[in-house]
Structure 1
């Protein structure tokens, strides 16, 4: 499994696990560190020049080893799915998932874990942003079939509907399913995941709000069979979807548990080709502590989570 770490703010310097990956990148072709700290025009918004620089940096890293066809995807045989993991700092850089999915060359469903919908219409001349990258993918990526956004703050879903309706772009919502934060607390992850299978014809995923599944559904073969899908999956995780018990991020956080996140990914990966897995949601570099956590406690929490996620994802 390939691991790429894109460091934009230097935050990974405070996490021993990420420093282990940095050291390993010196000798291991399956670990790649990209120093993005000197690229201007990247914080929250990524201007065209920064996009070009980042893509060139990724291309150069990929070309260092001709035995790896792509840094983000590597299938070693026809039966094994070997997705790559991409870390890219805090939530201000979640737009990196747009740049990584630009490299996908087959139909796919985008799975996003995020406390925010990231579907704002562009506000500054179409510049790519952390708050609108999902919409950018849906608007411009010819391979995306639909998107499922899990853990979104309830009122933000309504805001997205309103904003897109006002801009006469509401049709794009036909390709999106929102799983609201409140719905995660009412239903087991197996229950809501069993409703998310795209049809073979490529029709939009059904709205979860229209499905009333009984809570007696349990893990296992029933869930797997109901998740059969003609599409590969691309998974993007902003850790702010998780409860503050598991991560310290730079945005307001949801209530998803780590076990529920793992359960969702395990279920999604069963019988599906996973094209890539993105992870962002570190603390802000200038975080000085709050009433809940010191800086050191935040780093310890995030370090443990990143290590656990990698160890878990290497087994799926």
Structure 2
């Protein structure tokens, strides 16, 4: 089985200090100078951005801070057909947004609306998130709130993806993790890194994983002069988590699926 590409998108400078992670990358795409990308993008600008992301080979892509999580939509567009999205996130990213905008808080709802995904399984979400109560597509969305015991989350996720029998795309925002394992600029959840890795391994046992992305980096000051010791400490913690997540995703990707008959990527 062909190994997946490891891609780094430098949406800002948050990954600049993660040297070990960058050494693992097959490609680094620098979008740090792009305006109108953090938090939200106009749809017409986003459409042009997709052309840049066509060079990102299928595989595992690091996106930067959660402010850029809507870049996942571009990666989903590189699929021939819609997968199940398994999203690890403390937020549902299913908020409403103006018709002409794509935001880091609304991209999942848009992915469902445009049928870029068959269904969405959201793991570790804040139980107060409005997406749980105002889901735009309740029939195709399954939530596993952070308060649920790990074993119940794990068995429920396995049930959802095995019943669906579609390949899986994994998207991870590290704000789902506790501050022992990651540091983000958003409120964070209760999941440990060990629990996340266990779920990823279990997914690999039952499903074809056709792509993955990771975000949730610590947002660094735009000028390196203002980077503090605390910033570096938090970045190092995130890099350690990224490397463990990457190692597990590479294992998951290369697991032999005897019944796999589907090739989802266009290229």
Alignment of 1:265 with 2:200, yes or no, is yes
Matches within 5 A, 1:36-185: 36-59=31-54, 61=55, 71-72=57-58, 84-122=59-97, 124-141=98-115, 143-156=116-129, 159-163=130-134, 169=136, 172-184=137-149
Name the CA distance, whole Å, in 2 between partners of 1:309 and 1:89.
Answer: 14
Name the CA distance, whole Å, in 1 between partners of 2:182 and 2:227.
Answer: 13
- Where structure 1 has 5 or more consecutive residues not aligned to the other structure, the ranges are 26-30, 63-70, 73-83, 198-226
Match of 1:303 among 222, 239, 246: 239
Residue 196 of structure 1 aligns to a residue whose secondary structure is helix
Q: TM-score, normalised by structure 1?
A: 0.72
1:229 positional shift: 4.2
The structure that has the greater radius of gyration is 1
Partner of residue 214, structure 2: 279
Matches within 5 A, 1:147-226: 147-156=120-129, 159-163=130-134, 169=136, 172-184=137-149, 187-197=151-161
CA contact (8 A) 2:85 2:170 kept: yes
Query: What RMSD, in angstroms, separates the aligned Cα atoms of the two structures?
Result: 2.2
Alignment of 1:2 with 2:24, yes or no, is no
Name the CA distance, whole Å, in 2 between partners of 1:308 and 1:230.
Answer: 27
Name the CA distance, whole Å, in 2 between partners of 1:184 and 1:285.
Answer: 33
Name the CA distance, whole Å, in 2 between partners of 1:289 and 1:33.
Answer: 22
Query: 1:241 and 1:103, CA in 2 relative to 1: closer, same or farther beyond 3 A?
Result: same
- Where structure 2 has 5 or more consecutive residues not aligned to the other structure, the ranges are 253-267
CA contact (8 A) 1:121 1:163 kept: no
> How many equivalent residue pairs?
246
CA contact (8 A) 2:175 2:188 kept: yes
Name the CA distance, whole Å, in 2 between partners of 1:100 and 1:112.
Answer: 14
Q: Give the 4+ runs in structure 1 shifted more than 4 A.
A: 161-164, 287-290
Alignment of 1:33 with 2:7, yes or no, is no
Query: 1:241 and 1:161, CA in 2 relative to 1: closer, same or farther beyond 3 A?
Result: closer
